[in-house]
Amino acid sequence: MTITKIMEALRQPWQLQLVRFTPHMVVVLILAILPAVVPAYVQGTWTKFVIFALFALGYDLIYGHVGLLSLGHAAYFGAGGYTVAALMLHYNMDSLWVGLPLGILAAALVAAIFGFMALRVSGMYFLLVTFALGELLYSVTWNWKWLSTPGMQGISGLPRPDLGIPGFTWNTLSFYYFVLVVFLICFFLVHRIMNSPFGHALRGIRENESRTQSLGYNTWLYKYTAFIITGAFAGVAGVLFVYYNRLISPTHVGVATSFLPMIMVIIGGSGTLLGPVIGAFVIVFVEYFASLFTPERWPLILGAIFVVAIMYARGGINIHLSRLWQRLINRYGSTKV
Amino acid sequence: MSDVSFSVERGERLAIIGPNGAGKTTLFNLINGQMLPTSGKVFFWGQDITHMRAYSRAHLGQARSFQLISLFLNLSVLDNTLITLHGIKRSRFQMLRPTTAYTDLLAKAREILSPIDLWERRDELVRSLSYGEQRRLEIALTVALEPKLLLLDEPSSGLTSAESSEITDSICKLGRDITVLLVAHDMDLVFGIADRIMVLHYGKVVANGTPEEIRADPRVKEIYMGIEENAGNTTAT
Amino acid sequence: MELLLSSLVNGISFGMVLFLIASGLSIVMGLMGIVNLAHGALYMVGAYVGWTIAVQLKLDFGLAVIAGGFGGALVGLLIERVFLRRLYKQPNEQVLLTYGFVYILSNIVIWVWGGYRRLQFTAPALYGSMYIGGMPFAKDRLAIIAIGIAVAIALWYLQNKTRMGAIVRAGMDDKEMTMGLGINLERVFTFVFFLAAFIAGSAGVIGAQLLGAYSWLGSDILLYALIVVVVGGLGSVQGALLGGLVIGLIDTFGKALFPQFAMFTIYLAMIVILLAKPSGLLGRKV
């Protein structure tokens, strides 16, 4: 929303304004204020939700906007996370200002290599190849001893990031706000990309690649770039995850983790900004509750939710919610904002 | 296709006709870059573009409409227009500015959409437009890029005769700095526009001349008669 | 020399198991256009069912193979009829759905058969080795190879010499035309799916002599099968056979020669194919 649009909107009658802005206000409320008033263990889960919302949001660029189903996406998540973890393990480097950029770079690099190979084929083969490449990285994390604290699989005992501010220590809440800030920056970036000519071209490719090509777009380049960008966002999520979880292991780079952004995007609604966020919220919190009552059956529940969502909730929750809001807006005012 | 050789003059209107399967769309695919020839060359304004990718040809000045409407159905009319307009501009790589910030292109979009009564409906999804409206939009977008070469593949298929004559009019109104290649079955459209007509049959050029020459050509009559005869055999008299 | 020979035998027999799974996957993908990621899970279900029959109930191993086949086929048909059928022409959704079922089936297997231990079992008749030309060969490996060859011949015959096979191949090339010729393609689809699932399930029991059964076998074997399909090419029995043998041998020799980097040999093969001939060794243009 630009300044002019906000000014224009503020001149509307207050009922219309209330309805128009309520979704945004609710989101602000939930994200910024709620965590401050809940107990610490909920704050932790909330942090996890925001991290995965970021992962899902990035994933949606390649899935919702370009229309390519990339399996094995945990590879880029893991590339970012393991980079930060390895820096801390072997070089005692825990500075955020080194870890985060290097993590993003690593993830983008892996995405550049994998994406190049995967985009040599299309359709079904693309799916198979992205899946296999994801498994490749999983094997690497399992077998390469340099990526593990001695005596176990994975790296543990990781500290929170060092901001370089003297005397500053982290607590659960301040860490949450840190994650939220990173998330909001990425959210803003995705919003910009979505609405840019580049983003429009991506959707054109999704709708009809031939036509987009004949209009003058080098579609391969767009797909490749989008793939790398998605990988980079996954890397950010991976870095944040390692700071949050203080442990990373091969499981975090496996099939289960690759699954998560896909199911979040499907449930929440692809091709939109809020959809992946809603999906992340649902999955993270359902997992939390499931882990309290039936931790062994959680994968089964997740799989079942997934199957149901694919069969019946095609547009995702986001579509249903936005239709609801449309109806409310129509009831309270007929002028288009 | 075999042994198809022809050239087109700048500003000329060449219509390509022939029975189904004669290779007309294939010819377009070769010119526009969706297919690469196994032998032979394609020259565009003196430049050999035989192996040039499809997306580069747009920058040289080609624009094409497709036999089956290929608009982006799930995107809005405005989005379709803006994507088309950005295609040959450097701004198409821009990732951080919203498309609506490009006010000059927005104004151009208005210029394109108003005459066909779609500016008011610019936020509607293309799939909610009627077939005729979609065709009109597609043609308008293809012309909007002011290409050097316009490739129109069955622009009036599926349209009512009123809509077809609209299309014929708008193509006639195009300036002579645009060269038009037209594939069509609608003879009114063909004879209304064409300076020259080329007839394809089973991938070969059968005839190539002015409309009068083609009308009088016995081989052409034979091809179309043959089709009519077959059609006649299946309908009861 | 003995190491070379036993690796060869291991590699070929593993390759045969891979062929059995990949053949079903490849034909279903090529014909019905469905990427059934649950295919590996069907193998796993078959293996567990076979274990119950052969080890828990101590019945005939041959019966176990057939039971495993039906186990896999039943689950496969359930997924196809109830779910996949509704997702016609939506490849992304099909992939996601079947991916979800891998999850579900893995968890069900833990629930029903419990625990995470690997169950390895062999047909009692195939214990031990037999001697050919003075060299020992494990009997179960040889049996697997023999079965693999038999199935390959049968499938090849089915694909190229029968009317059913002709219909399948025609359907792969041009679905509309085939249907237009008055052929009930839907029934053929269901039969093909059933056959593929049955083979996968019985392969699970046969292959259990090599690989055993464990809860994440579904996705492990899926990975191998997918790489086989990429390397060998989509849509043909020959492609699956060649791909299976190549991957089986590369994997086995890789693990024997470079144990540190064992897993990566197959990925390397896949990457080479992707760069050199993306449609696979015997595949058509992608």
Looking at residue B230, what is its pLDDT? Answer: 55
pLDDT of A141 strictly over 50: yes
pLDDT digits (tens, 9 = 90+) for A76-94: 999 999 999 999 988 988 8
Which residues of chain C are under the pLDDT cut of 50?
286
pLDDT of B234 strictly over 80: no
Looking at residue A12, what is its pLDDT? Answer: 58
> Looking at CA atoms only, how far is residue C230 from chain A in angstroms?
7
- Contact residues, chain C, for A296 at CB < 8 Å: 107, 110-111
Chains C and A touch (3+ CB pairs under 8 A): yes
Question: By CA distance, what is A264's nearest residue in C?
Answer: C96
Buried b (16+ CB within 10 A) or exposed e, B192-213: bbbebbbbbbebebbbbeebee
Q: Give me the mean pLDDT over the B61-90 stretch.
A: 90
Q: What is the C-alpha separation between B205 and C281, in angstroms, rounded?
A: 39
Looking at residue C219, what is its pLDDT? Answer: 82
A308 pLDDT tier (thresholds 50, 70, 90):
confident
pLDDT digits (tens, 9 = 90+) for B137-163: 998 898 888 888 999 998 888 888 888
Looking at residue A221, what is its pLDDT? Answer: 95
Q: Is C190 exposed, middle or buried (0-12, 13-18, 19+ CB in 10 A)?
A: middle
Q: Give me the mean pLDDT over the A6-20 stretch.
A: 62
Looking at residue C170, what is its pLDDT? Answer: 76
Helices C217-232 and C2-32, axial angle in degrees (round to 10): 80
Q: What is the C-alpha separation between B140 and B120, in angstroms, rounded?
A: 16
- Of the three residues A203, A219, A253, the one that is the final residue of a domain is A253
Q: What is the C-alpha separation between A288 and A164, in angstroms, rounded?
A: 33
> Looking at CA atoms only, how far is residue A49 from chain B in angstroms?
26
Q: Check if the beta carbon of residue C230 is closer than 8 Å to that of residue C54.
A: no
pLDDT digits (tens, 9 = 90+) for B167-211: 888 888 888 888 999 988 888 888 888 888 888 888 888 888 888
| Chain pair A-C, CB pairs under 8 angstroms | 114
- Contact residues, chain C, for A256 at CB < 8 Å: 103
- Contact residues, chain B, for A192 at CB < 8 Å: 95-98
- A72, part of any domain: yes
> Looking at CA atoms only, how far is residue A207 from chain B in angstroms?
5
pLDDT of A106 strictly over 90: yes
- Contact residues, chain A, for B33 at CB < 8 Å: 213-214
**What CATH number is given for C2-276 in this structure?**
1.10.3470
Looking at residue B196, what DSSP letter applies?
E
Q: Any alpha helices (H) in C114-234, and if so which ranges?
A: 139-161, 163-173, 175-180, 185-211, 217-232
Q: Which residues, in sequence order, are CB contacts of A301 under 8 Å at separation 6+?
A: A286, A290, A294
Domain coordinates in residue numbering, chain C: 2-276
Interface check B33 vs A, CB under 8 A: yes
Q: Give percent of chain A above pLDDT 70.
A: 87
Same domain, A301 and A153: no
Closest residue by Cα to residue C193 from C45, C60, C34 = C34
Q: Testing the interface with A: which of C39, C103, C281, C286 to mutate, by most A Cβ within 10 A? A: C103
Neighbour subunits, C (≥3 Cβ pairs < 8 A): A
Interface contact A201-B57, CB threshold 8 A: no
- Contact residues, chain B, for A210 at CB < 8 Å: 34, 54, 66, 70
Interface check A199 vs B, CB under 8 A: yes
- Contact residues, chain A, for C263 at CB < 8 Å: 136, 139, 142-143
- Contact residues, chain C, for A122 at CB < 8 Å: 286
Looking at residue A29, what is its pLDDT? Answer: 75
Question: By CA distance, what is A70's nearest residue in C?
Answer: C92
Same domain, A141 and A172: yes
- Contact residues, chain B, for A203 at CB < 8 Å: 72, 75, 79, 83
Residue A154's φ and ψ, nearest 5 degrees, are 100, 180
Same domain, A229 and A156: yes
Chains B and A touch (3+ CB pairs under 8 A): yes
A335 pLDDT tier (thresholds 50, 70, 90):
very low
Interface contact B100-A211, CB threshold 8 A: no
Q: What is the C-alpha separation between A47 and A27, in angstroms, rounded?
A: 15
Interface contact B70-A193, CB threshold 8 A: no
- A234, part of any domain: yes
Looking at residue A330, what is its pLDDT? Answer: 64
Average pLDDT value for chain B:
84
Interface contact B92-A219, CB threshold 8 A: no
Buried b (16+ CB within 10 A) or exposed e, A266-299: bbbbbbbebbbbbbbbbbbeebbebeeeeeeebb
ipTM value of the model?
0.86
Interface contact B92-A217, CB threshold 8 A: yes
Q: What is the C-alpha separation between A87 and A103, in angstroms, rounded?
A: 10
Looking at residue B125, what DSSP letter applies?
B
Residue labelled with tokens 């399930």? C201
Same domain, A194 and A165: yes
Interface check B218 vs A, CB under 8 A: no
pLDDT digits (tens, 9 = 90+) for C115-156: 667 777 777 777 777 777 777 778 888 888 888 899 989 888
Question: By CA distance, what is A311's nearest residue in C?
Answer: C83
Structural domains of chain A, count: 2
Same domain, A234 and A315: no
> Looking at CA atoms only, how far is residue C274 from chain A in angstroms?
7
pLDDT of A35 strictly over 80: no
Interface check B68 vs A, CB under 8 A: no
Looking at residue C121, what is its pLDDT? Answer: 79
Same domain, A82 and A174: yes
Q: Give me the mean pLDDT over the B81-88 stretch.
A: 91
Same domain, A133 and A241: yes
Same domain, A149 and A296: no
The torsion of the CA quartet A239, A243, A244, A246, rounded to 10 degrees, works out to 120
> Looking at CA atoms only, how far is residue A112 from chain C in angstroms?
15
pLDDT of A6 strictly over 90: no
Interface of A with C (CB under 8 A): 67, 69, 71, 117, 120-125, 127-129, 131-133, 135-136, 139, 142-143, 255-256, 259, 262-263, 266, 296-297, 299-300, 302-304, 306-307, 310-311
Looking at residue B78, what is its pLDDT? Answer: 92
Measured between CB atoms, which of A196, A214, A215 is closest to B99? Answer: A196
Interface check A166 vs B, CB under 8 A: no
A280 pLDDT tier (thresholds 50, 70, 90):
very high
Q: Give me the mean pLDDT over the A289-310 stretch.
A: 82
> Looking at CA atoms only, how far is residue B60 from chain A in angstroms?
9
pLDDT digits (tens, 9 = 90+) for C264-274: 888 888 888 88
Interface check A246 vs B, CB under 8 A: no
Q: What is the C-alpha separation between B56 and B60, in angstroms, rounded?
A: 7
Domain that holds residue A73: 66-253
pLDDT digits (tens, 9 = 90+) for A171-191: 888 899 999 999 999 999 999
Interface contact A310-C96, CB threshold 8 A: yes
Interface contact C264-A135, CB threshold 8 A: no
Say what the pTM is: 0.85
Measured between CB atoms, which of C92, C107, C274 is closest to A300? Answer: C107
H or E element at residue A129: helix A124-143
Q: Which residues, in sequence order, are CB contacts of B197 under 8 Å at separation 6+?
A: B14, B15, B16, B17, B190, B207, B208, B209, B210, B211, B214
- Of the three residues A253, A288, A311, the one that is the final residue of a domain is A253
Average pLDDT value for chain A:
85
Interface contact B70-A210, CB threshold 8 A: yes
- Of the three residues A227, A253, A279, the one that is the final residue of a domain is A253
A241 pLDDT tier (thresholds 50, 70, 90):
very high
Q: Check if the beta carbon of residue A193 is closer than 8 Å to that of residue A229.
A: yes
- What topology is assigned to B13-70+148-234 in CATH? Rossmann fold (3.40.50)
Domain coordinates in residue numbering, chain B: 13-70+148-234
A15 pLDDT tier (thresholds 50, 70, 90):
low
Buried b (16+ CB within 10 A) or exposed e, C121-141: bbbeebeeeeeeeeeebbbbb
> Looking at CA atoms only, how far is residue C206 from chain A in angstroms?
25
